[in-house]
Structure 1
């Protein structure tokens, strides 16, 4: 017997993970950099505690390989509704609804379908209020064309049993093609995100253009529904908002990582310069030899090679251009670039 099995999409778990990890990393940085008892220190713990909840949720979504919906020649079964298989002969009608941006297929069944348990009266009233039924298949976690699946259910319930296997095979074939197409989209999104990240680092105004586009996209995605509640404008605006937000988080992490790394380099280089003065009585004429002798990784070595060393009679200055294109001097008193 041919079966169509629909699984949870990994995209939801990835989204939760992508949204949680940056804030967790920022929280860890705040705890490590700020003193105990300060507001920033406690905010760091709050960020880790709150957004850390997203880690087990995302891992569960990514590792849960059980099918949510199974369709065969006999009927349809949905694990989330906690009911028995719904026979095709028991379905009178099915239709697609949108409840707070969540897609459902509402199914009207005849009297032969026996519910495992009766719904609470308030839940029944709520279903009636939003236009739903007692049986509602949640599609929010499944990567599928909801309208096509609804049409497929309506078609197969009217079809003779001996013809249903062919319908399921054809629909399965279409799903395989769509999966390949989705993978190509994900690759494209990654490439777009890389381009956005590079452009944001190279030009301050470009970063703000992306931020404004993210804000506009977020507003459209939140409030615009279109005539059929499935607007392409809303769909692409949502993607722009997600890409813009991810780019913003990556930029923040890049700046924080760069600050931490450059401060570490500045401290080590300053210590070596002071050691040189103690041994030889004056500051070195250049620091390339000192940098070469320090145990830097390739990234730290690249940053250190871009440090400009200026020596005066009694002092020296270390200058470095940062990601925001501002040139800063290293302050050995506070061990920071200012």
Structure 2
């Protein structure tokens, strides 16, 4: 990922050397200048996992994308269910939308993905960042997934690289690689809307952890500052909210400008060294996510459950004293 200077001269503060960022900023600017290029965004919040999923559509063509959908999972019983995904499917049908994409911002550690279930019913291509292969190598080894588990990202229909562009109907979209929380995190810039995944949270809550395998607090800082050099008016949609102290409602939408001015961890003026010290100390106090072991096993497979064993039952592994 090319480094950039946040407050250097130039459009939105970005360095001219960062071509993917310049393209993404141009997508935002074009949409802000023309409301017809602005997507309609509907959020679905799953309080059990504190996850915001999104349906994003072009109002002119009714083409759409689903971002970070949740498969309901009860770890005590091992049962899956589809109420969260069904709500998304019902919305798609009611609005007369056609799904082109099922976009994953990264391999989530807090919920199982419902992308394959939705794809079977609504169509679309499942996509994630190309660096998912690094996640597959790390966790394929942890779970002793064996030679039948491909570590090449082939479980997904499309692997995006930094700077890739695509469309949703008439909407322009650009991809930014924003590692640090995991090696494979992406942000999707769709018109004037930026879907940042777990990289950053609401200004009063801060930022994502960086202590998972392959995570890096310094890299996370640089990724966030890269995102925050997009135009200040860009709408920023987040993957999680946990209610900051003193706030009684969940929230998942803000702006680049609000984050630059007020994010408690990474607002303008916070140095990389200050952030890394804070993030490292804070991460030491955090428990592992409740669903990390089942989630990663499923999500590294593109949201598909492991194949049934000889008795017809699927199993998820629980490594003992390994992490």
TM over 0.5: no
Question: Highest relative contact order (Cα 8 Å, sep 6+), 1 or 2?
Answer: 2
TM bucket normalised to smaller? under 0.3
Considering fraction of residues, name the structure with more helix. Answer: 1
